[in-house]
């Protein structure tokens, strides 16, 4: 089941309240997205931890319905 871009963004912001999220629908099929997440909370964290924070916000959807999310993170 694909997910709407707005739902992905809402989940990320629920988990990381100060996050600025840009979602791009890569294939136009509601199934292949790129997400860029910028947050001050990432400061001082290695990239793995930044990605894990986003994955935690997405819960078990990541790797499941969201098997094709291309993720970029950056510090505010």
**Closest distance to other proteins from the beta carbon of 9 (Å):** 18
Question: Which among 8-16, 17-25, 37-45, 64-72 is the span making contact with other proteins, rule CB under 8 A?
Answer: 64-72
User: From the CB of 2, what's the least distance to other proteins, in Å?
Assistant: 17
Q: In this structure, what is the dihedral angle of CA atoms 73, 11, 7, 70, given to the nearest 10 degrees?
A: 30
In this structure, the dihedral spanned by the alpha carbons of residues 53, 54, 60 and 65, taken in order and rounded to 10 degrees, is -160
Choosing from 48, 53, 57, 76, the residue that interacts with other proteins (CB under 8 A) is: 48
| Structure tokens that stand for 20 in this block | 């600025």
Pick 47 or 75: Cβ nearer other proteins: 47
Q: From the CB of 40, what's the least distance to other proteins, in Å? A: 19
Cβ atoms of 73 and 20 closer than 8 Å: no
């Amino acid at each position: 089941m694909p997910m709407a871009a707005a739902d992905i963004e809402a989940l990320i912001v629920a988990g990381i309240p100060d996050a600025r999220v840009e979602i791009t629908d890569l294939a136009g099929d509601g199934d292949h997205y790129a997400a860029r997440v910028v947050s001050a909370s990432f400061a001082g964290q290695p990239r793995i931890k930044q990605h894990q924070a986003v994955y935690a916000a997405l819960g078990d959807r990541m790797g499941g319905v969201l098997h094709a999310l291309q993720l970029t993170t950056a510090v505010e």
